[in-house]
Amino acid sequence: MKMLRWVLPAMALACFAVSASAQEKTGNRPGFTLAPGSARIVLMRPSIRVGEQSTGGMFEPNADWTDQAKENLGRAIAAAQSGLGNAIVSYEEAAGVDSGRVAEYRALFSTVVDSVIVYQFFVGNRLETKKRKGSFEWTLGPDIAKLPGLQNADYALFVTVEDHYGSTGRKVAQLFAAMAGVGMTSGVHKGFAGLVDLKTGDLVWLNADLQMGGDVRTAEGAQRRVSQLFEGFPGRTGSRPVVTPLISKAAVPAPTTTSAAVATMVD
């Protein structure tokens, strides 16, 4: 509740740049390891939203950009997943399943990660109960394993991408702010990738940043984003590249069932 109440009065304060050096971007649950070829991972439908950031900093969705990003990221994720060291299959919703519940878990994942960023990764604001040595205790709850289709899986992999590209007005405001000696951010380029242990619902690995690289409206940019998202993915095999070279749409070979599914399942 408080978050939103702060938005308007916070606009002025938002001019201050966030100290990047004070923020962590990756978390691992203590003791968690994942050997290559040891687990079955289900990739949940990625959540993707792209739009413009207004002069005042508000998000204005853009359907065309979102569609472009879904296509580009879907292809990049499909290309990358074979290099992640474990069998990754796309989540398939059974007929008649309450799709709202699946969507709500995706939303809960994003909310949990937002909290991880604000109350753990940002060291200066870390909650006292999260300060204990090696602590990384975040969860979606054990009931996630009850979602149809996850019964035989070990982990669920969630991906969230949200990009707010600075409008012309925002960029002009940024320029004037800079001339006045005040730092102002333009744009949000959020990327979360998180692995959830289906035995407990606990978040065991997370990569999350609010200023990731790569313009997801382009194929090359989407590949860069996906590469960053899966950086440090547990169980990844050695130096094997995460992202395969870009293949033009016309030259794409007949996709496997899994990669084809990923390319079309993004939301």
Partner 1 sequence: MDGARTLILLAIVAASSAASGNKLISPRTKIAVARSPLMVNPSIEWNKLDARPGRNAETWTLDGDALNDVTFYGGIPAGKTLFAEVDKRNRPLPRVSATMLLTDIPPLFENSYRIALDTPLMNIDSVEPMAFAGSKGVRFTYSFTRQNEEVHRRGEGRAAMIGGKLYMITYEAPILHYFDKSLAAFRQLADSASF
Q: Which residues 21-50 are close enough to bind partner 1 by CB under 8 A?
A: 22-23
- If one asks whether residue 119 binds partner 1 (CB under 8 A), the answer comes out as yes
Contact range with partner 1 by CB under 8 A, out of 54-62, 72-80, 88-96, 229-237: 54-62
Task: Please state, in angstroms and rounded to a whole number, the distance separating the CA atoms of residues 265 and 267.
Answer: 6
Task: Please state, in angstroms and rounded to a whole number, the distance separating the CA atoms of residues 240 and 202.
Answer: 27
- If one asks whether residue 127 binds partner 1 (CB under 8 A), the answer comes out as yes
- Please state, in angstroms and as integers, the Cα–Cα distance from residue 215 to each residue in 3, 59, 63, 220, following that order: 28, 17, 16, 8
Q: How many alpha carbons fall within 13 Å on the CB side of residue 85?
A: 18
CB of 249 to partner 1, least distance (A): 29
Contact range with partner 1 by CB under 8 A, out of 29-37, 65-73, 109-117, 216-224: 109-117
Helix (H), strand (E), coil (C) string for 151-201: CCCCEEEEEEEEEEEECHHHHHHHHHHHHCCCCCCCCEEEEEEEEEECCCC
CB of 48 to partner 1, least distance (A): 12
Contact range with partner 1 by CB under 8 A, out of 76-84, 86-94, 185-193, 259-267: 185-193
Which C-beta is closer to partner 1: that of 7 or that of 247? 7
Task: Please state, in angstroms and rounded to a whole number, the distance separating the CA atoms of residues 93 and 107.
Answer: 17
- If one asks whether residue 86 binds partner 1 (CB under 8 A), the answer comes out as no
Contact range with partner 1 by CB under 8 A, out of 66-74, 86-94, 107-115, 237-245: 107-115
